[in-house]
């Protein structure tokens, strides 16, 4: 259908920055068109002055279902959660995330710290509900949209959740909505906020944000513990139908045994900010031009089984009992180079593979290029046309040990066979090699991959040939 400039002025043609609402509008046949989402068309739409969908909608009326009690096995503690929401460290960390996004996105409106502090401090009730629906008035008609989170005045309503990981995901949606009214901004915010919520201390939050290239310093409560767990509490057996329960149960047991281990990024780990690990410490030779680098597949043998203890990872692993050596600024920069190089090599190879299948190579997206806190590195497409989620772990060595965040693990658990872990070996050479591991969470269950949940160090088979 063709639209005129008058349609744009009258709000009959808008930018779709709220896909769920747009789908509901189209399903009801309301006379509103949505502009092409192709980024190449965006300058033209900006020139036209197109309004966003969220700009023509009014505040919805929520229909909140009955209050329900969450599964007791989850040990959900609303008081602990409110304490965290009221933490000034959390507010300032959220603003730091917004500041980071605003540096690369001039359309993003950065909120003020005091405004966020007041908004969070006003929340005094968290209610788990059976259902939640938002009713919008669009062009004089009511449009219903199913929702999972709603924040109104002092109350945060959340629909049922299966585990702590899912609760944090829903809470991240609510926090994203506090930071911005634009649904398109929520996607930019959600991944990083979700990772932040998995950190249990302010120092853990600092480490996580640092690894995401977001500068932030705790100002108020450096040692606050946001864990919902208590050493004296008894943990119920995990739900076998929930893949995340394996992770949650292991974390709880590890925490009880060690008196409180963090499930977030561990500040005692060697820093691998490039989402991979570099080579040994010392003076590094310049990396060869990436256009001269080949990426050679090496089949996984399927015969390897994890050792009792992880091998020392290339790039800051612990030595023979002397402990790890903190990374120097030069080594951290090298880690970033190695990590980005591995992702770029895989990205280019995936584009070539998809193109050879007769599909558009542009469907392959290097997500982590602009969002280092994402729960995956590359979104690609499988031979059947379905989504394929790729995590790249690179090293200049030959070992299989790497840091695997809770957000990345959770993504792997959700996607199962559509999640592929790429291990890039000798990424600093002109002949890098790689092995791929599909559904690594299933591999962990079969003892083909090892994870230390206290530190989130994982290990796959090394390069032996």
* Angstrom distance (rounded) from CA 404 to CA 450: 11
Cα distances from 234 to residues 163, 249, 252, 253, 406, in angstroms, run 16, 11, 9, 10, 22
Q: Decide: 338 and 394 in contact? Cβ < 8 Å.
A: yes
Residue 269 near residue 403 (C-beta atoms within 8 A): yes
pLDDT tens track for 377-411: 999 998 888 899 999 999 999 999 998 887 888 88
pLDDT at 249: 52
Instruction: Work out the average pLDDT over 370-380.
Output: 88
Q: What is the pLDDT of residues 211-247, one digit of tens each?
A: 778 889 887 554 455 554 443 333 333 444 444 455 5
Phi, psi of 306 (to 5 degrees): -65, 145
Kind and range of the H or E element at 339? helix 329-356
pLDDT in tens, 399-443: 999 988 878 888 888 889 999 999 999 999 999 999 999 999 888
Between CA 292 and CA 301 the distance in angstroms is 28
pLDDT at residue 157 in the model: 93
CA distance 71 to 162: 8
Show the tokens assigned to 176: 């994203």
Confidence of residue 369 (pLDDT cuts 50, 70, 90): confident
- Rounded to whole angstroms, how far apart are CA atoms 419 and 386? 11
pLDDT at 220: 58
Q: Give the model's pLDDT for residue 308.
A: 62
> Taking the mean position of all CA atoms in its chain, how far away is CA 150?
21
- The mean per-residue pLDDT over the stretch 34-43 comes to 71
pLDDT of residue 222: 44
Q: pLDDT digit string (tens) for 167-201? A: 888 999 999 989 987 777 887 888 889 889 988 88
pLDDT of residue 237: 39
Q: Evaluate if residue 91 carries a pLDDT over 70.
A: yes
Determine the average pLDDT of the residues in 13-31: 86
Question: CB of 244 within 8 A of CB of 238?
Answer: no
Average pLDDT score over residue span 306-311: 59
Measured N-to-C along each axis, helices 88-104 and 183-197 cross at an angle, to the nearest 10 degrees, of: 130
pLDDT of residue 383: 84
Least confident of 84-98, 186-200, 355-369, 447-461: 447-461
Beta bridge partners of 419: 389
Q: Mean pLDDT score of the chain, rounded to an integer?
A: 79
Which pLDDT belongs to residue 39?
63
The overall longest dimension of the chain from CA atoms, in Å, is 73
Q: Taking Cα atoms as reference points, which of 313, 306, 311, 301 lies closest to residue 269?
A: 313
Ranges 39-43, 101-105, 228-232, 347-351: which has the least confidence: 228-232
CB 443 within 8 A of CB 437: yes
User: How do residues 104-142 score in pLDDT, each as one tens digit?
Assistant: 787 788 899 999 999 999 999 999 999 999 999 888 889
390 backbone dihedrals φ, ψ, rounded to 5°: -125, 130
pLDDT on residue 226: 52
List C-alpha distances in Å: 391 to 272, 374, 380: 15, 10, 11
* pLDDT of 312 over the 50 cut: no
- Identify the pLDDT of residue 317: 35
Secondary structure class of 198 (helix, strand, coil): coil
Query: What is the token pair recorded at 292?
Result: 């001269």
């Amino acid at each position: 259908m063709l639209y005129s400039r008058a349609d744009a002025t009258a709000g009959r043609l808008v930018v779709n920055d709220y896909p769920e609402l747009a789908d509901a509008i189209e399903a009801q046949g309301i006379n509103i068109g949505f502009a092409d989402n192709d980024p190449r068309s965006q300058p033209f739409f900006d020139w036209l002055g197109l309004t966003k969908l969220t700009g023509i909608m009014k505040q919805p009326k929520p229909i909140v279902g009955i209050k329900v009690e969450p599964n007791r096995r989850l040990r959900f503690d609303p008081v602990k959660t409110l304490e965290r929401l009221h933490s000034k460290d959390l507010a300032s960390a959220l603003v730091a995330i917004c500041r980071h996004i605003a540096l690369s996105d001039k359309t993003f409106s950065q909120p003020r710290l005091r405004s966020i502090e007041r908004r969070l401090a006003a929340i005094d009730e968290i209610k788990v509900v059976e259902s939640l629906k938002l009713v919008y008035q669009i062009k004089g008609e009511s449009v219903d949209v199913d929702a999972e989170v709603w924040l109104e005045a002092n109350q945060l309503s959340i629909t049922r959740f299966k585990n702590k990981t899912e609760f944090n995901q829903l809470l991240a949606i609510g926090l994203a909505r506090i930071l911005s009214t634009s649904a398109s901004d929520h996607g930019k915010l959600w991944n990083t906020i979700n990772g932040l919520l998995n950190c249990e201390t302010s120092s853990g939050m600092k480490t996580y944000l640092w690894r995401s290239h977001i500068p932030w310093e705790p100002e108020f409560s450096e040692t606050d513990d946001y864990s919902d767990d208590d050493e004296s509490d008894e943990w119920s057996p995990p739900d076998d139908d929930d893949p995340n329960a394996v992770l949650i149960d292991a974390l709880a047991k590890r925490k009880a045994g060690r008196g409180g281990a963090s499930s977030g990024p561990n500040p005692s780990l060697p820093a691998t900010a490039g989402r991979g690990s570099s080579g040994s410490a010392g003076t590094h030779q310049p990396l060869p031009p990436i256009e001269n680098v080949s990426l050679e597949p090496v089949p996984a043998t399927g015969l390897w089984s994890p050792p009792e203890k992880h091998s020392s990872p290339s790039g800051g692993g612990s030595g023979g009992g002397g402990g790890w050596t903190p990374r120097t600024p030069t080594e951290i920069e090298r880690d970033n180079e190695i990590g980005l190089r591995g992702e770029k090599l895989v990205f280019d190879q995936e584009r070539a593979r998809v193109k050879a299948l007769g599909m558009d190579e542009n469907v392959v997206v290097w997500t982590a290029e602009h969002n280092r806190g994402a729960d995956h590195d590359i979104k690609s497409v499988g031979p059947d046309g379905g989504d394929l989620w790729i995590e790249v772990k690179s090293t200049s060595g030959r070992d299989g040990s790497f840091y695997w965040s809770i957000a990345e693990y959770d993504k792997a658990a959700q996607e199962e066979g559509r999640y592929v872990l790429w291990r890039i070996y000798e990424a600093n050479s002109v002949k890098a090699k790689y092995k791929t591991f599909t559904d690594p969470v299933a591999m962990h269950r079969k003892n083909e991959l090892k994870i230390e949940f206290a530190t989130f160090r994982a290990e796959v088979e090394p390069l032996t040939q």
